[in-house]
Amino acid sequence: MARRKVTVTALSERLSFPLTRRLRTALCVAAAFAAVALIAWHLVLGARNPDLTTMDQQQFLAHLEAVITHGLREDNIPGASVLLVRDGEPIWSAAFGSADRERRVTLSTDDVMMAHSISKSVTAWGVMRLVDQGRVGLDDPVVDYLGGWRFPDSRFDERAVTVRRLLSLNAGVALGPIGVHYSPHETVPPLEESVSGDAVRLVREPGTGFSYSNSSFAILELLIERVTGRPFAEYMEVEVLHPLGMLDSSFSWDPSWNVPLGYEIDGSPVAPFLYPNRASGGLFSTIHDLGRFAAATIGASTADAAPATLSVGARSEMHTPQIAIPGIFGVVADTYGLGHFLEQLPGGYRAVWHGGQGLGWMTHVHAIPETGDAIVILTNSQRSWPFMARVLDDWSRWIGVGPVGMARITVAVTGMRILVGLLLLVALWRTLTVFVDLADGRRRPAFGRFAAVWPRGIELMVALLLAGTVVWASQQDYLFITSVFPREAPRFAASLIAVATALALSALVPVQTGRTASRT
């Protein structure tokens, strides 16, 4: 051992510089330079974005097609359909990519697709139709309309759950089960099974705050059936979908449809499926039909049947803020109306929108009633949030109202990339300093020996925590972070493993203390 020390010392003297100090300085400078370069690179990329407000319609559509084509390839998304409404009129629609990758089936704008939680906005129209007719009161307890149905026992007053609070996700109802779905060829359980037990339990005081809840809309589905005496899907077709010209849309499965496959985050295909309750996410529709719905949402005069379907006052009520939105949803929206997210834009305009996410799908409708603009995006992939955010960002800037809140996802993606780069630099710096110190004789393997026990213990605990978190995350069926960062999440996991490895190495090859040196 002493011989190795002499050799290392002699090597250091022969090189005529203090190995540790100079290399550490070089590493710190290199790491700082790399960090600055990484941040500058992302800022330069952002600065390259053209001035979209100066583009005419033809120029922007060419730009949008390029953005969509690049985005699908970059984010590994099989397919997307996009439609634009301008001055209340659909001006452009197109489909890109695949409906079925394995069979090489091209996506079409005529394809019937799964709308998922956009269904909530459409269902809200159905409920407000009953309000317009005087058959339902917004501020009445919902149990008054449900013919003996009651909420499960809880410490909260069920009569505080009004129709308005259910529509505004302010009723205190549980989220409801996630991932429960059935093949179109299976028998779907009756609605009554979906609105029972813990699925519809009151988990907070009604009226005290926003809480996303699929079960709230399941209860509204039951409300429609009990009040009208008709199946929910039939009522919605007759009273909402067909009057709006949405003739290719339905809450019931049609065997004649050729619905594209959805694709999970890892690229696994997902066949079309049905939810046990349909009001919250069970709508099937085309990009053209949802364009008609978007036009009706902004009150466009071209939606001839819209005034007869729903009064101006009812539409205005749906777009009136009911409850502030906290937490993660509050990053992209300010308030929730009746079945619609709402946000106040920089130019003073109000955006009305809803997105949808389910196994293999992500969808979005964004409308600006004051300007007559809207956009519909349907994708058959759960990797689509960053892609949709870029499209929404460019669209909102082009029409002069942006950026919309969803565009913040693009900022978050940039931040995540920078964070991953910094974590990798930290891991590299820590690993290199360990080897430099080892070569300089300041560190030694110390398995079971006394060597600054507390610093080593902390490093090992942090390393195990980081590694354990990554292992736990890899076992989960769904994580929100992987939806927002489908490309960056695996890189983030790898960077955490790199940091954990560097910390473990540092703990196992610690800096020698005076007590350790005296024992050697």
Whole-angstrom Cα distance, residue 384 to residue 267? Answer: 12
pLDDT at residue 17 above 50?
A: no
pLDDT at residue 514 above 70?
A: no
Helix (H) or strand (E) holding 99: strand 89-100
Where is average pLDDT lowest: 31-35, 77-81, 185-189, 504-508? 31-35
Residue 147 phi, psi (nearest 5): 55, 50
Whole-angstrom Cα distance, residue 443 to residue 81? Answer: 59
Where is average pLDDT lowest: 9-13, 247-251, 278-282? 9-13
Planar angle of CA 465, 470, 476, nearest 5 degrees: 125
Name the residue with tokens 């589905």: 221
Whole-angstrom Cα distance, residue 301 to residue 87? Answer: 10
Whole-angstrom Cα distance, residue 341 to residue 318? Answer: 10
pLDDT at residue 300 above 60?
A: no
pLDDT at residue 48 above 60?
A: no
Whole-angstrom Cα distance, residue 131 to residue 121? Answer: 15
Stronger pLDDT, 452 or 454, i.e. the higher one = 454
Stronger pLDDT, 448 or 279, i.e. the higher one = 279
**DSSP 8-state code for residue 442:** S
Tell me the chain's radius of gyration from C-alpha atoms. Answer: 28
Per residue in 212-242, pLDDT (tens digit) is: 999 999 999 999 999 999 999 999 999 999 9
> What is the 3-class SS of 267-290, one letter each residue?
CCEECCCECCCCCCCCCEECHHHH
Contact, 345 vs 395, CB < 8 A? Answer: no
Stronger pLDDT, 337 or 258, i.e. the higher one = 337
Whole-angstrom Cα distance, residue 97 to residue 359? Answer: 19
pLDDT at residue 47 above 70?
A: no
Whole-angstrom Cα distance, residue 396 to residue 390? Answer: 10
Which residue spans within 169-282 are E strands per DSSP?
262-263, 269-270
pLDDT at residue 476 above 80?
A: yes
pLDDT at residue 205 above 50?
A: yes
Which of 118, 81, 132 lies closest to 294 in space, CA to CA? 118
pLDDT at residue 1 above 50?
A: no
245: left (phi over 0), alpha (psi -120 to 50) or beta: left
Average pLDDT over every residue of 172-195:
92
Q: What pLDDT, on the 0 to 100 scale, is given for residue 206?
A: 97
Q: What pLDDT, on the 0 to 100 scale, is given for residue 433?
A: 87
pLDDT at residue 264 above 50?
A: yes
Name the pLDDT band for 24 (thresholds 50, 70, 90).
Answer: low
Q: Which residues contact 209 (CB under 8 A, 6 or more apart)?
A: 170, 323, 326
Q: What pLDDT, on the 0 to 100 scale, is given for residue 288?
A: 98
Name the pLDDT band for 10 (thresholds 50, 70, 90).
Answer: very low
**DSSP 8-state code for residue 239:** I
Q: What pLDDT, on the 0 to 100 scale, is given for residue 520?
A: 46
175 burial class (0-12, 13-18, 19+ CB within 10 angstroms)? Answer: middle
Q: What pLDDT, on the 0 to 100 scale, is given for residue 377?
A: 99
Per residue in 74-111, pLDDT (tens digit) is: 999 999 999 999 999 999 999 999 999 999 999 999 99
Average pLDDT over every residue of 492-514:
88
- Both tokens assigned to 470: 């990554």
pLDDT at residue 436 above 90?
A: no
The total of other beta-carbon atoms located within 10 Å of residue 357's CB is: 17
Each domain of the chain, given as residue ranges in start order, spans 2-42+412-519, 53-403
Average pLDDT over every residue of 184-203:
93
pLDDT at residue 350 above 90?
A: yes
Name the residue with tokens 């489908």: 486
Whole-angstrom Cα distance, residue 116 to residue 108? Answer: 19
Q: What pLDDT, on the 0 to 100 scale, is given for residue 12?
A: 41
Whole-angstrom Cα distance, residue 325 to residue 339? Answer: 13
- Both tokens assigned to 489: 């999440």
pLDDT at residue 49 above 90?
A: no
Q: What integer best gives the mean pLDDT of the chain? A: 88
Identify the CATH assignment for 53-403 out of 3.40.50.2000, 3.30.70.890, 3.30.420.40, 3.40.710.10. Answer: 3.40.710.10
Average pLDDT over every residue of 442-455:
65
**DSSP 8-state code for residue 237:** I
- Both tokens assigned to 129: 């139709």
Stronger pLDDT, 39 or 112, i.e. the higher one = 112
SS3 106: strand
Where is average pLDDT lowest: 356-360, 401-405, 509-513? 509-513
Planar angle of CA 380, 382, 387, nearest 5 degrees: 85
**Percent of the chain predicted with pLDDT > 90:** 73
- Both tokens assigned to 158: 């069920």
Stronger pLDDT, 209 or 51, i.e. the higher one = 209
Per residue in 389-425, pLDDT (tens digit) is: 999 999 999 999 979 999 999 999 999 999 999 999 9
Looking at the chain, how many residues does it have? 520
Stronger pLDDT, 273 or 44, i.e. the higher one = 273
Contact, 96 vs 107, CB < 8 A? Answer: yes
pLDDT at residue 135 above 50?
A: yes
Q: What pLDDT, on the 0 to 100 scale, is given for residue 516?
A: 47
SS3 136: coil
Cis omega (within 30 of 0) on the bond before 403? yes
Average pLDDT over every residue of 427-434:
90
Average pLDDT over every residue of 199-215:
96
pLDDT at residue 443 above 90?
A: no
268: left (phi over 0), alpha (psi -120 to 50) or beta: beta
